[in-house]
Amino acid sequence: MAMGKGYARAYYGTEHATAVQRKSSAHLLISGVSNAYTLEVLRVFGNPILQVLKGLSFESAMVPDPKRCNSCKDSASSRDSPEWTRPSPFPDEVLDRVLSLMESHKDRSSVSLVCKDWYNAERWSRSHVFIGNCYSVSPEIVARRFPNIRSVTLKGKPRFSDFNLVPQNWGADICSWLAVFAAAYPFLEELRLKRMAVSDESLEFIATSFPCFKSLSLLSCDGFSTDGLKSMASHCKNLTELDLQENVMDDLGGGWLSCFPENFVTLEVLNFASLNSDVSFDALEALVTRCKSLRVLKVNKTITLEQLQRLLVRAPQLVELGTGSFQQDLMPRVYAELESAFNNCKNLHTLSGLWEANFLYLPVLYVASAGLTFLNLSYACLRSNELANLVAHCPSLRRLWFAVIIVSKTEVLDTVEDKGLEAVGSSCPLLEELRVFPADPFDQDIVHGVTESGFVAVSRGCRRLHYVLYFCRQMSNAAVATIVQNCPDFTHFRLCIMNPGQPDYLTNEPMDEAFGAVVKTCTKLQRLAVSGLLTDLTFEYIGKYAKNLETLSVAFAGSSDLGMQCVLGGCTKLRKLEIRDCPFGNAALLSGLEKYESMRSLWMSACNVTMNGCRLLAKEMPRLNVEVMKDDESDDSQADKILKIASLETARKQM
Amino acid sequence: MSVPLEHDYIGLSEASSMERSSDKISSSSSSSTLSTEEEKNNVLNLKETELRLGLPGSESPERKAGFGVSLYGTDSLGPLKNFGSGAKRGFSDAINGSSDKWVFSANGGYEVDLGKGTVLFSPRGGNGGLEKNNTQQCNLPRVPPSKHVEKQTSPANEHASAPAAKAQVVGWPPIRSFRKNAMATNVSKNSDTVEGNPGSGCLYVKVSMDGAPYLRKVDLKNYCNYAELSSALEKMFSCFTLGQCTSGLPGQEGLTESRLMDLLHGSEYVQTYEDKDGDWMLVGDVPWE
């Protein structure tokens, strides 16, 4: 950890104040200013440090005591001693207050680099820690540095584990973390885990070791079952959030829901949409009734429309709703009641679920659609015209996820599926995020999916679009160029042409120019996923233009080592690089030596890298974790999968 | 010991060996990039693009290993060795050296209607050849073979002749398993034909009103008595009666003489289909299942 880079100096005006944010040596002096004024400023404005500087009058600017600077560097953890009464440029309370309002991890990282005092102030005041890769640091180090953590976000396996590319039992087990947390953070309230291995024992441990535990979010995790949920429901008296999304878990039955005690009333978020078993509806209804603060409810598909209506009547305050199965033959009376229930949900801004949605019942949603900002139809498998009808009622939509199916082989290509997107383009001008999934990506019997024209249509109507994930079966360079011209503000551009290595369908050329257009036009681009037939030219473009790029996913692309070298050399902010099935070899791998330590991780699989290359890398960069996963039958010299993590530890301990 | 690979990770297929045909290969001059004479012809020859996976020796004699053709074992791999002379540990070595079978189809990419299923890659060895010569004219996916193919777990199946099974590159397209499985259930549910299925617990009868442009189907199980049925029928057919419909949808003007509105959808047109009796039926009365 680089310490003592110097103080940050305050200047008049914001443009100078931003210098404070940078890690490079800048100097900060905050003159004596009353606490009350500072706090008032902090409360009103956003970024505390900037605004403090804005509000200062520099009548009594103080010069920093040089002796103090030096001693500050020398003394270790001066904050810890209770009799610390060292005079400082401004009261400690000010700094503490400023820091307590600071939530951004990047800002806090910057603050901690200013000087030792600030490092200590920051670490004592931090209540939430975000660990992007669980193997980059050990739980002991975390506990030592941050004594007052209430909330932890942990991410484990490489993203490609979602697609079965990471072997079973790879690791990322939460249990070692929990053991340390139980000792260091007895008042832990929140755990947000992504791609971690979580066992039922771990869930029970959480439920019984942390009496203040409130919030559990498991996304794309694996290893547990509904028995673990039983523990959570039974023991966590103060639980406010139970959020389960897309985990690989054993659903042994819905009895866990009945384990919430009758006097349990604190739940605010309940998401069990991804579980398949029936739950006791009576228990659910009772739970929803007594938890008056419930604002997010996402049920699974066993909940019928009629049952949904009863739940909505109990919880009109819901902000986010995940419906169950939207397929049921309703009596007209129930239909009317359902519509009325939706009408009463005045705060609804997120809607999801809609499993097996029967288009006849979608109109019940129209009454609540005007306020919707996020519509997740990715499991509803609507037809294009149904989608069009629905989005016509959602003028405030900011985020839309959906999957489109077609019904018969005889439907003409390029018209039916894209019609829905055309409707989106015309109905939802505020749209910022679009995710289009293939409804049945593996059924080759029917031609399906959206084409480029749908995407172009959306880009014409939705100029604020900045996040897109788009699965399609054909794309052209011209279309992509048009799209980014219409929407130059893309921060996340993830295009998946589903046929690996497919060229521009109009010209038969590689898709190089498409992604070239993306990186040239979208200067704010942070995340990019490429597909289609791509040569090294794509990567030359990326390296040359994508200066803000942080995450890059590449599959079945590139021609030679040059491609990867361009990216590693040019993308200064690159943090995550994942590559599969590309002809990049050792030369490419080793060209990024200086870069890897500043990256969170690098993944390469089915490329041309050999074991020797990996060994060389590990030797050159001893502080990197280099891990090679080999398929059983492959040649000994071939390194099938490589994962590199910049880590503070010497070896990834397999738990 | 060659073991056929089962690429299926949805769990939908049963047999290991796969019968598939690739209908179309776009004719291209990519054949000029191939280094052997044989392959030039193969690419354009539709018969040659027919893919089959079976045991070595079970193939038809005229079959040649061509660009993008499935490989059975070492004997048919000869021509492929000429590929990718530039590749260090090239594709052909991987094929020859490993005991796995590689299955892939040559696929023009845009003609997605392959009939049965597809695994999409072409020899990586084409690396050098393709790039040097003419990438622009390459219509075949120049894709390094994925090594992420799943092992066949029951070798006994390799002798079975195949019903069509789906095979894909592992982990492609990049969709989380949860979503994949959910989609597969959704779509397979939708593809069942359930009309009149006694197990589904519904009793559909056709209802026709004289003069109406299409007929309706009604599930009698929905109603408890004649009164309810009658009012439901009235609602159903009221849109055909001028001046009597009430519009529940905002912004609608109700019926005029010249327009029949679909009350549920608010559009001028409704979807109908012609059933086996020759009657036009409104789409949606019978649930999809």
pLDDT for A103 beyond 50: yes
Over 70: is that where the pLDDT of A369 sits? yes
* Residue of higher predicted confidence among B135 and A27: B135
Distance separating alpha carbons of residues A443 and B6, to the nearest angstrom: 16
Q: What is the pLDDT of residue B96?
A: 41
* Chain B interface includes A613 (CB < 8 A): no
Kindly list the distances between the CA atom of residue A500 and the CA atoms of A246, A324, A469, A495, A582, in Å, as whole numbers in the listed order: 25, 35, 16, 12, 11
Question: Dmax over Cα atoms in chain B, in whole Å?
Answer: 81
Query: Across the A/B interface, how many CB contacts are shorter than 8 Å?
Result: 205
pLDDT at residue A535 tops 90:
yes
Average pLDDT value for residue range A303-329: 92
Task: Name the residue facing A403 among B28, B166, B183 (closest C-beta).
Answer: B183
User: Which residue, among B112, B150, B185, would best test binding to A if mutated, counting the most A CBs under 10 Å from its CB?
Assistant: B112
Instruction: Tell me the mean pLDDT in the region A582-589.
Output: 93
pLDDT of residue A293: 96
Max avg pLDDT among A10-24, B128-142, B249-263:
B249-263
pLDDT at residue B188, as a whole number: 60
Q: Which residues of A touch B122 (CB under 8 A)?
A: 501
List pLDDT tens digits, range A538-572.
Answer: 999 999 999 999 999 999 999 999 999 999 999 99
Could A381 and B176 be called an inter-chain contact, meaning their C-beta atoms sit closer than 8 Å?
no
Nearest by Cα to B107 from A606, A409, A500: A500
CA nearest to A283, candidates A303, A308, A255: A255
**Residue A364: alpha-carbon gap to chain centroid:** 32
Least Cα distance to A518 among A508, A507, A529, A509 occurs for: A529
Q: Provide the residue type at A287 as one letter.
A: L
Q: Does A250 touch chain B (CB under 8 A)?
A: no
* High-pLDDT (> 70) share of chain A, %: 80
Return the structure tokens found at A485.
């011209």
CB pair distance less than 8 Å for A473 and B265: no
Are the beta carbons of B109 and A499 separated by less than 8 Å? Answer: yes
What is the predicted pLDDT for the residue at A630? 75
For residue A455, the distance in angstroms to the closest alpha carbon of chain B comes to 18
Which candidate from A403, A500, A559 shows the least CB-CB separation from B172? A500
Pick the residue of A556, A579, A628 with the most B CBs within 10 A to test the interface with B by mutation: A556
β-pairing, A641-646 with A624-629? antiparallel
> Are residues A633 and B171, on separate chains, in Cβ contact within 8 Å?
no
**How many secondary structure helices (H) and strands (E) does chain A include?**
25, 22
Q: Which phi and psi (to 5°) does residue B207 adopt?
A: -125, 130
For B32, which DSSP code? G
What mean pLDDT do residues A395-414 have?
67
How far is Cα A480 from Cα A515, in angstroms, rounded to an integer?
A: 8
> Is the per-residue pLDDT at A19 higher than 90?
no
Q: How many CB atoms lie within 10 A of CB A364?
A: 23
Instruction: Give the closest of A360, A500, A553 to B264, CB-based.
Output: A360
Confidence of residue A647 (pLDDT cuts 50, 70, 90): low
Which of A477, A470, A383 is CA-nearest to residue A434? A470
**Do A363 and B138 count as a contact with CB atoms less than 8 A apart?**
no
3-state secondary structure of A493: strand
Token pair of B192 as six digits: 């069942």
- pLDDT at residue A378 in the model: 87
For A387, residues 6+ apart whose C-beta sits below 8 A from its C-beta are A377, A402, A404, A420, A423, A424
pLDDT in tens, B72-126: 333 433 333 333 333 344 333 433 443 333 333 333 333 333 333 333 333 333 3
B186: nearest CB among A356, A582, A640:
A356
Distance in angstroms (rounded) separating the CA atoms of residues A371 and A393: 9
- How high is the mean pLDDT of chain B? 51
The number of CA neighbours under 13 Å toward the Cβ of B104 is 32
A100-128: average pLDDT:
89
In the prediction, which pLDDT does A229 show? 96
- Residue identified by tokens 């910022």 is A432
What is the reported pLDDT for A628? 85
Residue B132, Cβ neighbours under 10 Å: how many? 10
| pLDDT value of residue A644 | 75
Top pLDDT among A506 and B87 is at: A506
What pLDDT is attached to residue B69?
A: 34
Predicted pLDDT at A375 = 96
Cβ proximity of A637 and A612 under 8 Å: yes
> Which residue in A has a C-alpha nearest to residue B8's C-alpha?
A442
Q: What is the pTM of this model?
A: 0.66
Q: What is the pLDDT of residues B248-286, one digit of tens each?
A: 444 344 444 334 444 555 566 778 888 878 888 888 777
Q: Enumerate the residues of chain A whose CB falls inside 8 A of the CB of residue B182.
A: 379
Is residue A551 within 8 angstroms of chain B, CB to CB?
Answer: no
Length of chain A: 655
* CA A380, chain centre distance (Å): 23
pLDDT for the residue numbered B157: 38
Q: What is the 3-state secondary structure (H, E, C) of A620-652?
A: HCCCEEEEEECCCCCCCCECCEEEEEECCCCCC
Compare A348 and B110 and report the one with higher pLDDT.
Answer: A348
Mean pLDDT of B53-71: 41
Among residues A582, A573, A455, the alpha carbon closest in space to that of A519 is found at A573
On the question of pLDDT at B201 being above 70, the answer is no
pLDDT at A63: 35
- Answer whether B187's CB lies under 8 Å from A381's CB: yes
pLDDT at residue number A582: 94
- The pLDDT tens digits of the residues spanning B147-182 come to 444 443 333 333 333 333 444 678 888 988 888 887
Number of continuous H segments (helices) and E segments (strands) in chain B = 5, 6
Task: Tell me which residues of chain A, numbers 417 to 446, contact chain B at a CB-CB cutoff of 8 Å.
Answer: 437-445
Strands (E), B8-64: 19-20, 51-52
Contacts of A300 in chain B (CB under 8 A): none
3-state secondary structure of A374: strand
| Percent of chain A at pLDDT exceeding 90 | 57
Residue A478 near residue A456, CB atoms below 8 Å:
no
Binning pLDDT at 50, 70 and 90, where does residue B187 land?
Answer: low
B112 contacts on A by Cβ (under 8 Å) = 444, 447, 473, 499
A164 phi/psi in degrees, rounded to 5: 65, 25
Contacts of A88 (CB under 8 A, 6+ apart): A68, A117
Helix (H) or strand (E) holding A244: strand A241-245
For B222-234, the pLDDT digits (tens) are: 776 777 788 888 8
pLDDT band (50, 70, 90) for residue A404: low
Counting every residue written for chain B, the total comes to 289
Using CB atoms, pick whichever of B117, B144, B202 lies closest to residue A444.
B117
Tokens of B143: 């894709």
CB-nearest partner of B98 from A381, A582, A633: A633
Q: Which residues from B are below 8 Å from A501, CB to CB?
A: 109, 120-122, 141-143
Q: What is the pLDDT of residue A296?
A: 97
Residue A471 scores a pLDDT above 80: yes
Task: Look at residue B44 and tell me whether its pLDDT is greater than 50.
Answer: no
pLDDT of res. A310: 95
The pLDDT of residue B218 is above 70: yes
Looking at the predicted structure, is the pLDDT value of residue A244 above 50?
Answer: yes
Q: What are the angstrom distances between the C-alpha of A14 and each of A51, A57, A327, B110? A: 8, 14, 56, 54
What does the pLDDT look like over A63-89, one tens digit per residue? 333 334 333 444 444 444 443 444 455
Gap between the Cα atoms of A102 and A50, Å rounded: 11
Tell whether the model's pLDDT for residue B197 goes beyond 50: no
Which residues in chain A have Cβ-Cβ distances shorter than 8 Å to B187?
Answer: 381, 405, 439-440, 443
pLDDT for A541 equals 97
Residues contacting residue A532 through CB under 8 Å, at least 6 positions apart: A475, A495, A497, A501, A502, A503, A504, A510, A511, A514, A557
Please tell me if residue A378 touches chain B, with a CB cutoff of 8 Å: yes
Candidates B118, B53, B188; CA nearest to A473 is B118
Task: Report pLDDT digits (tens) over A30-43.
Answer: 333 333 333 443 34
**H or E, element range at A205:** helix A200-209
Residues B119 and B7 sit within 8 Å (Cβ to Cβ)? yes
Closest alpha carbon within chain B to A353: B182
Residue in A closest to B11 by C-alpha: A442
Quote the CA–CA distance of A219 and A199 in Å, as a whole number.
14
Chain A nearest-CA residue for B142: A501
Task: Encode pLDDT of A203-215 as tens digits.
Answer: 999 999 999 999 9
Mean pLDDT of chain A: 82
Cα(A515)–Cα(A542) distance, rounded to whole angstroms? 8
What's the confidence (pLDDT) of residue B23?
37
Per CB-CB distance under 8 Å, the chain B contacts of A444 are 112-118, 166
- Measured in whole angstroms, the distance separating CA A165 from the mean position of its chain's CA atoms is 20
B37 CA: distance to closest CA in chain A (Å): 24
A513 exposure class (CB count in 10 Å sphere: 0-12, 13-18, 19+): buried
Question: Is 80 exceeded by the pLDDT of residue A29?
Answer: no
pLDDT at A623 over 90: no
Chain B residues within 8 A of A441 when measuring between CB atoms: 173, 175, 180, 183
CA distance to partner chain A, nearest, from residue B241 (Å): 20
Residues with Cβ < 8 Å from A186, sequence gap 6 or more?
A209, A210, A211
Residue B75: C-alpha distances to residues A207, B72, B92, B272 (Å): 60, 8, 12, 57
Instruction: Give how far Cα A389 sits from Cα of A394, A419, A431, Å.
Output: 10, 11, 16
Contact B175 A438 (CB under 8 A): yes
A395 has a chain B CB within 8 A of its CB: no
Contact B88 A379 (CB under 8 A): no
